[in-house]
Structure 1
Amino acid sequence: MGFLGKNKPGTVAAANTRTQGQWAEDRALAHLQSAGLRLLARNYRTPGRGGGEIDLVMREPDGTVVFVEVRSRSSQAWGGAGASIGATKQRRIVFAAQHFLLRLGAQPPCRFDAVLLEPDISWIRGAFDAQ
């Protein structure tokens, strides 16, 4: 039986979700790079269980570190892509950002952005803050 075999329920859906997520991140990354941002990390995860993950960590030309959450939705139903970045998700992103910043010597200016694909691309600077 192959990787997407019948003995693993949900495997096809999980593979499709991963493929869609990868496509959305690739598109967001290209959009941000075309705007002059430089990639520092992709899919940055904190060690251990219960931590957070950041889709893209970018740097603006002025040195600002930008933590980017990428969301993709095929429609605006149920609030669209932006509505899926709730308080719990924001806390996990902030936690991962704090962990990432510990690796840097000096504390640079930073912000939290969102790139939404529904299906057009929208870049929301300062989508939420660390408080």
Structure 2
Amino acid sequence: MASRQTLGQLAETWACDYLQAQGFKLYTRNYRLRGGEIDLIGQDGEHLVFAEVRYRSREDFGGALYSVDLRKQQKIIRTAQHYLLLHPYDLACRFDVIAINAQQQITWLKNAFDAS
């Protein structure tokens, strides 16, 4: 059985391929700070998107879509703010979640949460 880290990397690759097939323009993967990480950053239409990829082999406790709790959201928002200081864009920002289950079905939840 693959490790959690390996499954996470695979899920990010699946999500990246899926998003790009939908017209998503990838800017960077795995943008890390000491206090957080953003899996995928790119452009979808007129939005700069900060995307969190979640893989869950089981649907217990709501599955992948519901696994991005408030604490995780706050870390993503802080990391996105740092990214924007270094890479300013004239685009509206959006926070998305890409959920992948054990059957590799992908759900792209646009505007999953906001920074307010």
C-alpha change, 1:116 and 1:106, in structure 2 (3 Å) is: closer
Tell me the C-alpha RMSD between the 2 structures.
1.6
Which of the numbers 31, 56, 70 marks the counterpart of 1:73? Answer: 56
Q: What is the alpha-carbon distance in structure 2 between the residues aligned to residue 29 and residue 35 of structure 1?
A: 10
Higher strand share: 2
Q: What is the alpha-carbon distance in structure 2 between the residues aligned to residue 108 and residue 58 of structure 1?
A: 11
Please list every run of at least 4 consecutive aligned residues from structure 1 whose deviation after the TM superposition is greater than 4 angstroms.
none
Tell me, which stretches of 5 or more residues in structure 1 are unaligned?
1-12
Q: Which has the larger radius of gyration?
A: 1
Q: What is the alpha-carbon distance in structure 2 between the residues aligned to residue 52 and residue 105 of structure 1?
A: 19
Query: What TM-score results when the alignment is normalised by the length of structure 2?
Result: 0.91
The answer on whether the counterparts of 1:101 and 1:107 sit within 8 Å (CA) in structure 2 is no
* Larger RCO (CA within 8 A; separation ≥ 6): 2
Could you tell me how far 1:113 is from its partner in structure 2? 0.3
Query: What TM-score results when the alignment is normalised by the length of structure 1?
Result: 0.81
Tell me, which stretches of 5 or more residues in structure 2 are unaligned?
none
Q: What is the alpha-carbon distance in structure 1 between the residues aligned to residue 50 and residue 71 of structure 2?
A: 16
Q: What is the alpha-carbon distance in structure 2 between the residues aligned to residue 104 and residue 79 of structure 1?
A: 34
Does residue 56 of structure 1 match 2:40? yes
> Which residue of 2 is the match for residue 114 of structure 1?
97
Q: What is the alpha-carbon distance in structure 1 between the residues aligned to residue 79 and residue 87 of structure 2?
A: 13
C-alpha change, 1:126 and 1:99, in structure 2 (3 Å) is: same
Q: What is the identity, as a one-letter code, of the residue corresponding to 2:112?
A: A
**1:116 counterpart SS class:** strand
Higher mean alpha-carbon deviation, 110-119 vs 88-97, is at 110-119
